[in-house]
Chains A and B, each alone.
Chain A
Amino acid sequence: MNKFTTALTAGVLAFAPMALLAEDSSDPIVIPIHNWSSQIVMSHVVGQIFESMGNNVEFVTTDSQAVYESVRLGDVTLELEVWEGAFGASFRAALEKGGLHDAGDHDAVTREDWWYPMWTKDACPGLPSWEALNECAAVFATAETGDKGRYLDGPVDWLKHGQERVEALGMDFVVVNAGSAAALWAEIGAAEADKRPVVVFNWTPNFAEAVWPGEFVEFPEWVDGCDKDPAVGPNKDALYDCGNPADGYLKKAAWDGMKDKWPAAYDVLTKISFTNPQIAEMARLVDVEEMEPEEAAAEWLEANPDVWQGWTS
């Protein structure tokens, strides 16, 4: 028994300094990771910046919609990519309930709209105009849609209003909702094999730009109120008769408690701002160069010291 106690004490003493060392840095800042590369790499980039300041950082994998509830509760400290189109609704809902706040915009703008891979242009040379698209609707027909073209919209919960737009502009298209981003890629990937023309929902910045060059369809330009006032836009009696804004925001969000708990890190977070090319480069390192996200982040930090060192000083 005595021996056992001695051994135990020795063990505890041996590990104590290490435990102290780990706890020395305050609680870890919890950064959420979702399932697309640019966000994963950006999270690691910011995490490594925080670490270089002596903070303790931890990453947690979460659903990109459910994350706002966790930020609100403080289980997750921040969110680096709040897309206006995709997550605006969830973000605003959480904002209303309280617990998190807007921590500033990135320079990058986001765009989400109807999109086609380049080979589609061979079958429908008038693109990117939407009228031209409508004229070759038959090219996009599938077995299930008959003569009408098929437009593959994002998952319903992204609330993209593809159906409303088709009706408002009187287009010969049937809207089919994919169930996930992966489903969109699978459909483009399948079309790529025999260069079948497709028109799908897509967004930028996104890894897909590097894999499949393509363009957005040009719809009547977005005017404020197009989603609220029928009089706005070409069709005087309908909502959603314009394209989506070509310069949607990309925000950062922070838990309300972050400011007090990690003031220095919070200060950096508000200064952080990436541009579209920077985000594309981060995604490229993973998607094309096949690096692991941590390595891609380290590489990016090394290659772009002038971008981020200003934020920490």
Chain B
Amino acid sequence: MADVTSDLKAGTSGPAQWSRGTWASALLIVAVALTALRYGGLLPDALHRIPEELIPPFAAWLDAFFNFVKDDLGLLTLTRTLTEGLEWLLDVTANLMFGKRRWPNIGPIPWTAIAGVAAVIGYYLGGWRMALLGAGTFIWTALIGQWKIAMETMSVLMVAAPLAFFIGLGLGILAWKYVAVNRVIKPILSVLQTLPFFTYLLPAVIFFKVGPTAGAVATTIYAIPPMILMTTLGLQKVPIEVVEAGNMSGCTKWQLLRHVYLPSARTEILVGVNQVIMLCLAMVVLTAFIGMPGLGAKLLAMMGSFKLGRSFEIGVTIVLLAVTLDRMSKAWVVKQPVHFERDTPWWRKHIVLLSGLGVFVFFCIAAQFIDVFAEIGRKQNFSQGKEIDTLIKGFLALDPVQNTTQAIRYVLNVWILNPFRDFLLSIPTPAFILLVVAFALSLGGRRPAIYAAIFFGLVALSGWWDRSVITLYSVISAVTLALLIGVPLGITAARSEKWSQRVLLACDTAQTFPSFIYLIPAIMLFGITATSVVMSILIFAMVPLTRYTIEGLRTVPPEMTEAADMAGATRMQKLVKVQFPLALPTMAVGFNQAIMFAFFMVIIAAFIGTQDLGQELQRTLAGTDLGKNFVLGICVSLMALTFDLTIMKWATDRKKALGLPD
């Protein structure tokens, strides 16, 4: 057991004269030499940064292309027709949920009825606790005085989530059935998953009209990728025996899909549904920029007038909704379909449906007579906005808090972050690319290295090099800090089941809490500086690191730890020599996610004040610079993809070498 790692190293070096490591070192030396030349003033400017005149006008080309597709090919007409259909759907849900004056003109559904139904569904899926959670969430929303805005949000999500589900399912089936489709879809999905949300917003507005429609479309696009991936994964895993059984009973192709494949892939598809719901909720605030009504819009307005308390309450509502829907959909994944005896009476089979309906009708009728059941009016709600406001501001103003943060701010900004940024900016472009390639080569091997070279080469050609480097610098700084805090936290928590659960719950909350709300306290503590930016990314990036550390450590096969115990290893030895190497591939997945989250959050941090790609992206929101908007978005995406490809390759190789399941 002495060293699981040592015999692995041999496996990575090839038969060629130069191993991967040697190549990587060679690249590294060239990069260092170039930088040294630059410092010595010997490197010509053309090799330091690509000269302006050599940069191709990508934005103008893209603009021309978009205009061609939009007007000449008539895409705009098509999407505007689709918009009308979508708008009709949204009007129906809007009428039901919050009483917008549209067909069918029967809403709004009383809040008590919705809370009651949520309780029944919760009970069906997960017993009393889930029922309590379901009803509690909606009761909280109503009592805190956010019912209408919450329902405005729900009315759009009710359309966007199913849309994402069906499109994702369809594309997933296609990708599974036809290899060609899969080949086309995979890279598009990767780009979609790393593209900053600002890049979706502008096209959504232009093609689908500002308002709930654009909000619904942007949400749908954002939520589709995991649905496609999970569907394909699930279908690929269907055991051949089951398919043969279907064939033997004479299924047609359609029947085979409907009654054999899809039910067998149920678990993966439902996990996809869970992901769709979570991603939809993650977009609630961001889509408010393009007309999504409800919680997000209110949150932005509250933050615009510096009302921390009310913003916080809205954040709590979003977290509660997310946690409820997450837990319910996860319970649905686990719950297997119930089969009844032949003679079970009809009402018994459908007891849940009936009781749900009963509760619904009861409250609908009750609401006609008791006003509070229909709507909680102003001055009846229990919002504590002002009090929470005072509390938060009071805490942030405490002397010890202020002194600590002042010290952190000074040390980080003046000694670490700003010098680090200036150093990265001082590296010549070719040397920087070589450094990234060396990193990709030593971790992932040849393919990731080639991708790294192409991707960063494109970023250099985009003309936004300095801003890209600043973006990358924020990401690297934040992820490094997140590693320093998140991993030890995960290790400590993984020691006991109880603490693991608690920390994982905290992770869930931190992830669904709208990231915008972090920005204000971050600024109040650290000013408008690089520290605030890094701190707000840090919170977000720590979540996957901690989560995967816990998961990685807790899934180490017990035989291994027992063997270590028998060999008389101390706790430290066991951790360093056994658990860590085995958990490392899983932790790498978390590390990768942390980087992806950081790239997502760094763009949002533009609202604090940055000088990176996010700031430029934010600026494009004002106009119709679709081309520039895309170039910037792709720069972020390419950088993120380089890391994604490299780290995931390393993790898979490593898992294979260790004989761990995927």
Chain A residue nearest to B522 (CB atoms) is A186
Give the residues in chain A near B396, CB-CB below 8 Å.
190, 193
Which residues of B199-237 have CB atoms within 8 Å of chain A's CB atoms? 202, 205-206, 209-212
Q: Does A202 contact B (CB under 8 A)?
A: no
B305 at the A interface (CB under 8 A): yes
Q: Mark A160-189, 1 if CB is under 8 A from B, else 0.
A: 000000000000000011111111011101
Contact call A90/B413, Cβ cutoff below 8 A: no
Contact A155 B386 (CB under 8 A): no
In the complex, A143 Cα to B397 Cα: how many Å?
18
A312 within 8 A of B: no
A176 touching B619 in the complex, CB below 8 Å, given contacts A40-B301, A144-B413, A190-B396: no
Whole-angstrom CA separation of A109 from B109 in the bound complex: 44
**Contacts A36-B305, A193-B397 given; does A186 touch B288 at CB 8 Å:** no
Residue pair A143, B622 in contact (C-beta under 8 Å):
no
Q: Is the CB of A143 within 8 A of B413?
A: yes
A144 CB, nearest partner CB in chain B, Å? 5
| Contact residues of B: prevailing secondary structure | helix
**Shortest Cβ distance from residue B166 to the other chain A in the assembled complex, whole angstroms:** 25
Q: Given the complex, which residues of A lie within 8 Å of B621, measured CB to CB? A: 63, 65-66
Partner of B409, one of A18, A70, A143: A143
Query: A19-B105, A189-B306 are contacts. A60–B619 as well, Cβ < 8 Å?
Result: no
The reply to whether B288 and A61 form a contact with Cβ atoms under 8 Å apart is yes
Residue B333 at the chain A interface, CB threshold 8 Å: no
Contacts of A155 in B (CB 8 A): 609, 618
Does chain B have a CB within 8 A of A62? yes
Of the listed stretches A224-232, A243-251, A259-267, A287-295, chain B binds A287-295
**A75-B209, A90-B622, A190-B396 as given contacts; A179 in contact with B606, CB under 8 Å:** yes
Please encode chain A, from 10 to 24, with 1 for each CB lying within 8 Å of some chain B CB and 0 for all others: 000001001100100
B410 interfacial contact with A, CB 8 Å:
yes
Q: Which of B25-33, B96-104, B315-323 contacts A (4 or more CB under 8 A)?
A: B96-104
Q: Which of A65, A69, A179 has the most CB of B within 10 A?
A: A179
Contact between chains at A179 and B413 (CB < 8 Å)? no
Chain A residues with CB under 8 Å of B489's CB are none
Asked if A110 is at the interface (CB within 8 A of a chain B CB), the reply is: no
Give the A interface residue count (CB, 8 A): 57
Interface residues of B in 373-412 (CB under 8 A from A): 378, 385-386, 393, 396-397, 402, 406, 409-410
| Nearest opposing residue in chain A for B615, CB measure | A156
Q: Does B529 contact A (CB under 8 A)?
A: yes
Indicate if B312 sits at the interface (CB-CB under 8 A): no
- Taking CB atoms, residues of chain A closer than 8 Å to B406 are 143
Q: A178 CA to B386 CA in the complex, in Å?
A: 26
Q: Judging by beta carbons under 8 Å apart, are B410 and A178 in contact? A: no
Say whether A178 contacts B528, CB under 8 Å.
yes
User: Contact between B378 and A183 (Cβ–Cβ < 8 Å)?
Assistant: no
Residue B75 lies at the interface, judged by CB distance under 8 Å to chain A: no
Q: Which residues of A contact B618 (CB under 8 A)?
A: 155, 157, 179
- Is B607 in contact with A63, judged by CB distance below 8 angstroms? no
Contact: A60 with B291, CB < 8 Å? yes
- Within 8 Å by CB of A36, from B291, B292, B301, lies B301
Given A66-B210, A70-B210, A189-B524; A176-B305 close (CB under 8 Å):
no
- State the CA gap A194–B306 with chains docked (Å): 18
With both beta carbons as reference points, the residue of chain A lying nearest to B300 in the complex is identified as A35
Interface centre among A89, A90, A186, A290 (most CB of B within 10 A): A186
Q: Does A152 contact B (CB under 8 A)?
A: yes
Chain A residues with CB below 8 A from B622, complex form: 63, 65-66, 89-90, 157
| CB 8 Å contact bits of A286-309 with B (1 = contact, 0 = none) | 110011100100000000000000
Q: Which of B293, B520, B610 contacts A60 (CB 8 A)?
A: B293
List the B side residues contacting A182 at CB < 8 Å. 303-304, 306, 519-520, 607
Shortest Cβ distance from residue B532 to the other chain A in the assembled complex, whole angstroms: 9
B117 interface residue per 8 A CB criterion: no
Q: A69-B624, A70-B210 are in contact. Are A15 and B606 (CB under 8 A)?
A: no
Contact B205 A70 (CB under 8 A): yes
Report the bound CA distance from A66 to B210 in whole Å: 9
CA distance A192 to B305 in the complex (A): 15
Decide yes or no whether B86 CB sits under 8 A from chain A: no
Are A176 and B609 neighbours in the complex by a CB distance under 8 Å? yes
| Minimal Cβ-Cβ distance residue in A for B530 | A144
User: Is B460 an interface residue when CB atoms closer than 8 A count as contact?
Assistant: no
Known: A19-B105, A22-B102, A185-B304. 8 other contacts (CB 8 A): A15-B106, A37-B305, A61-B288, A61-B300, A69-B624, A75-B211, A143-B414, A179-B528
17 sampled A-B residue pairs with Cβ under 8 A: A22-B102, A35-B297, A35-B300, A36-B301, A37-B304, A37-B305, A40-B301, A66-B205, A66-B621, A69-B205, A176-B609, A177-B528, A180-B608, A182-B306, A185-B305, A193-B402, A287-B305
Shortest Cβ-Cβ A-B pairs, 3 listed: A193-B397, A65-B622, A186-B523
